[in-house]
Amino acid sequence: MSEKNKSRTVRISLRSTLVGVLSNALLAAIKAIAGILGNSYALIADAIESTSDIASSLVVLGGIKIASTPADDNHPYGHGKAEPLAAMLVAVALCTAAVGIAIQSIREILLPHHSPAPFTLIVLVLVVIVKEWLFRYVFRAGEQSQSTVVKTDAWHHRSDAITSSAAFVGISIALIGGPGYESADDWAALLASCVIVFNGYRLLLPAVAEVMDAAPDPGIVERVRDVAGHVQGVVGLDKCYIRKMGFEYYVDLHVVVNGDVSVRSGHKIGHDVRDAVRQGIPKITDVLVHIEPQGEEED
């Protein structure tokens, strides 16, 4: 990946994350005030999650900053692993916040209290609309930058939208049902916490996979093979290993050439393959090419 493309990718990621931080700060304040004044723990729980989202987004910012740091003597492959590590922290934080919400929801269910105020429904409708927009905006930025941590941050917004939707249903039941249904919004908060835990677990898996150098999308492997296979002098391709390092990809590729060519010619073919793959797929930073003579491919 060229420095220009990498800089653009980092800029997109940082901008979307900052928008999320500012939006969460404003929404958390609105939900907390409305929850306290409107006697709705589901709304207060929603505010707690938004507050945790702010901390998580700050972790995301730190991860992006570190991941974009150039390679050095101690980190010759760069600092890209900081990005999935940050995603893991965010996913764990999401699960932790959900457990806290669940515990408090159970306490509120066991304690008698007044029904929520009707105006809290208006607040929740606003929150759901804003959060769904944030999810789409941040997730699109994550797709453009191929950033695991930005996509994880986007799902934080979707989880918040789910929590707010559950709170809306719970408060509506409490208001329509009247006496005896006061705890409906607390049950809604408990249900939402289960959904959040599920999302946190689902977001943790790709981050762990990236840290463990799991194989990427098969589509990128096919593209690498296609580009390399059209380079002059390439007879065939053997192994092709690809790993993701933050915003970039590194490739180990075994190229089969005519066994009678000179070392110099084989060396040139290897460089041509490397240049072709990097130019054809900009997000690939480097390609390590291993030349093999035809008929002696490794098992």
In this predicted structure, the answer to whether residue 104 has a pLDDT above a threshold of 60 is: yes
Q: Which CATH number fits domain 218-293: 3.40.50.720, 3.30.365.10, 3.40.50.620, 3.30.70.1350?
A: 3.30.70.1350
For domain 3-211, give the CATH number. Answer: 1.20.1510.10
For β-strands 284-293 and 248-257, DSSP reports them as: parallel
Instruction: Work out the angle at residue 249's Cα, subtended by the Cα atoms of residues 245 and 253, and round it to the nearest 5 degrees.
Output: 125
Question: For the whole model, what pTM was predicted?
Answer: 0.67
In this predicted structure, the answer to whether residue 60 has a pLDDT above a threshold of 80 is: no
Secondary structure in 3-state letters for 16-31: HHHHHHHHHHHHHHHH
pLDDT in tens, 133-168: 989 998 888 888 777 778 877 877 887 787 788 778
Two structure tokens written together for 98: 């959900």
pLDDT of residue 112: 66
Q: Are 94 and 159 in contact (CB under 8 A)?
A: yes
The domain limits of the chain are 3-211, 218-293
Give me the percent of the chain exceeding a pLDDT of 70.
Answer: 94
More confident residue, 267 or 127: 267
pLDDT in tens, 182-223: 778 778 878 878 877 887 787 788 888 888 888 888 889 999
Q: How far apart are CA 198 and CA 54, in angstroms?
A: 20
pLDDT of residue 51: 76
Element (H, E) at 242: strand 236-245
Cα distances from 4 to residues 1, 10, 70, 126, 282, in angstroms, run: 8, 10, 13, 38, 10
Q: How far apart are CA 38 and CA 5, in angstroms?
A: 48
Split at pLDDT 50, 70, 90, the class of 22 is confident
